């Protein structure tokens, strides 16, 4: 029985698909799987290092700011079907699992035309254009944020399930905070702020943090700052006894275990991990994200009492300093945010989604 996974372009679409696929194979190792993605997406470098068979198509996003390039989008969609037929042969998938992004568009269109059943996993509080378009034909839609359901078509809304986003859950038991700090060279009684702007880093967030560090951090505060690989050399000199500067945190578990408060973007997978670890957060949404979905994510978590958020346009050095000081000097406020984060966490999301898929495939229960 063949199950196809499709989605990518960015890590926010690809990594959920990988998490679900691994959970599904763990439940049902007899299933055959294949990934379908885009040649120009992150899957180009990630998938060859995984255990999964894959095919990459010449797919392109819609060029909204340069519409004269959209012929590439049309050509890619048309040409991809031939490539799909070659990759799948005469075998029709029993089910397709799509996690959004332009990289899943060709596979989903092929499913609709060939009456192949599929399910969707939507990471954000605002459904992406691809998932929103194809949700009307989906058997089920798995939501990272329950707020997304209201923006789906009526019949798709009825088939949506709030599963949370499939992220790597914290180990059980979680690493000791004292031991994690000791390994990082941070005093056990310090306050610790974790800063990162996603896997690639954030130029805007880094610049504000740099200006803040130059004015002097609050007494007793230590910082773990992941700049992103392309920004590291610019800020590496900021490293000190109280500031750890890294290009990337992998694995990130030790940093999460050591942290009192996080300052991050509001991407779906970032916020899902913070909630899974119960980490209070100040979120600074990326204002150029599609449909401004990061702002919607941040607002949803703030309304749920799981985070605070600051629009990038309002993120001054003084505002950052004031927000961090207020929270780190108020244990009760931190506890409330941590409890709100835990309430939003869905640490078993990947396995839960995999179990739903098993049911759709009419396989015996595990």
Question: What is the reported pLDDT for 198?
Answer: 80
At residue 64, the pLDDT reads: 54
Domains of the chain by start residue, with CATH: 2-167+348-360 (3.40.50.2000), 177-344 (3.40.50.2000)
Sign of the Cα torsion 273, 275, 278, 279 reads positive
Q: What is the pLDDT of residue 246?
A: 95
Report how far residue 30's alpha carbon sits from residue 36's, in angstroms, rounded to the nearest whole number.
20
Rounded to two decimals, the pTM is: 0.87
DSSP assignment of 270-316: HHHHHHHHT--EEE---TTSGGGHHHHHHHHHHHTTS-EE--GGG--
pLDDT of residue 323: 96
> What local confidence, expressed as pLDDT, does residue 102 receive?
81
CA dihedral (151, 155, 159, 163) in degrees, to 10, reads 0
Name the maximum alpha-carbon separation found in the chain: 66
Could you list the mean pLDDT of each consecutive 10-residue stretch along the chain, which spans 366 residues? Answer: 91 92 96 91 90 86 56 60 75 93 87 94 93 94 95 89 93 91 96 91 95 94 95 95 93 94 96 96 94 95 97 96 94 96 95 96 72
Phi, psi for 245 (deg, rounded to 5): -115, 120
Q: What is the per-residue pLDDT for 61?
A: 62
């Amino acid at each position: 029985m063949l199950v196809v996974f499709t989605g990518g372009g960015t890590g926010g679409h690809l990594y959920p698909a990988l998490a679900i696929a691994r959970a599904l194979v763990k439940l049902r190792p007899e299933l055959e799987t294949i990934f379908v993605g885009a040649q120009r997406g992150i899957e180009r470098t990630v998938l060859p290092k995984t255990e999964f068979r894959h095919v990459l198509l010449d797919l392109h996003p819609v060029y909204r700011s340069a519409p004269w390039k959209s012929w590439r989008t049309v050509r890619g969609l048309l040409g991809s079907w031939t490539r799909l037929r070659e990759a799948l042969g005469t075998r029709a998938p029993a089910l397709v699992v799509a996690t959004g992004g332009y990289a899943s568009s060709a596979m989903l269109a092929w499913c609709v035309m060939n009456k192949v059943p599929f399910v969707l996993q939507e990471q954000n509080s605002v459904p992406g254009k691809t998932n929103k378009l194809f949700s009307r034909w989906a058997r089920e839609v798995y939501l990272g944020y329950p707020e997304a359901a209201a923006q789906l078509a009526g019949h798709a809304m009825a088939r949506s399930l709030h599963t949370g986003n499939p992220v790597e859950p914290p180990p059980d038991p979680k690493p000791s905070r004292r031991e994690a700090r000791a390994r990082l060279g941070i005093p056990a009684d310090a306050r610790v702020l974790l800063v990162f702007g996603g896997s690639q880093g954030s130029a805007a967030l880094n610049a504000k943090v740099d200006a803040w560090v130059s004015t002097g951090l609050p007494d007793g505060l230590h910082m773990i700052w992941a700049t992103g690989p392309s920004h590291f050399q610019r800020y590496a000199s900021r490293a000190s006894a109280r500031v750890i500067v890294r290009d990337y945190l992998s694995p990130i578990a030790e940093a999460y275990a050591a942290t009192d408060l996080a300052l991050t973007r509001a991407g779906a997978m970032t916020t899902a991990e913070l909630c899974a670890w119960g980490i209070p957060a100040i979120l600074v949404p990326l204002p150029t994200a599609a449909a401004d979905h990061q702002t919607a994510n941040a607002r949803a978590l703030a309304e749920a009492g799981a985070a605070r958020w600051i629009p990038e346009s309002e993120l001054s050095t003084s505002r950052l300093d004031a927000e961090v000081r207020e929270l780190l000097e108020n244990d009760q406020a931190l506890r409330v945010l941590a409890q709100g984060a835990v309430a939003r966490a869905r640490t078993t999301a990947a396995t839960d989604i995999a179990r739903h898929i098993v049911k759709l495939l009419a396989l015996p229960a595990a």
